[in-house]
């Protein structure tokens, strides 16, 4: 009798379980978003009014600006 050629082939289908896991997570996220949307969470609600009150700031009176640079001519004073 001739010896038989036996081969063991193992086929693992692990990718399908990862696909079902991702699909389940996606369905759960979409269901949660639909629940929040139906409850009015994404509508923005009332408008927000931000009222800024800044103090009135004025520069102190100087001596004609001789401390800074001039735009041309001699000195920083006008005659």
Mean pLDDT of 22-39: 93
- Give dist(CA 48, CA 59) in Å, integer: 34
Per residue, the 3-state secondary structure of 2-24, as one string, reads CCCCCCCCCCCCHHHHHHHHHHH
Confidence check: pLDDT of 66 > 70: no
pTM of the entire predicted model: 0.40
Task: Give per-residue pLDDT as tens, 1-24.
Answer: 677 888 888 777 666 788 889 999
Task: Give per-residue pLDDT as tens, 35-58.
Answer: 988 887 777 666 677 888 888 888
pLDDT recorded at residue 29: 97
């Amino acid at each position: 009798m001739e010896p038989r050629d036996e081969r063991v082939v193992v086929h693992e289908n692990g990718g399908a379980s990862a696909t079902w896991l991702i699909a389940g997570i996606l369905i759960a996220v979409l269901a949660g978003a639909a629940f929040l949307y139906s409850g009015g969470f994404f509508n923005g609600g009332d408008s927000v009014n931000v009222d800024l009150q800044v103090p009135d700031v004025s520069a102190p009176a100087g001596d004609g600006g001789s401390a800074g640079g001039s735009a041309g001519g001699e000195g920083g004073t006008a005659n």
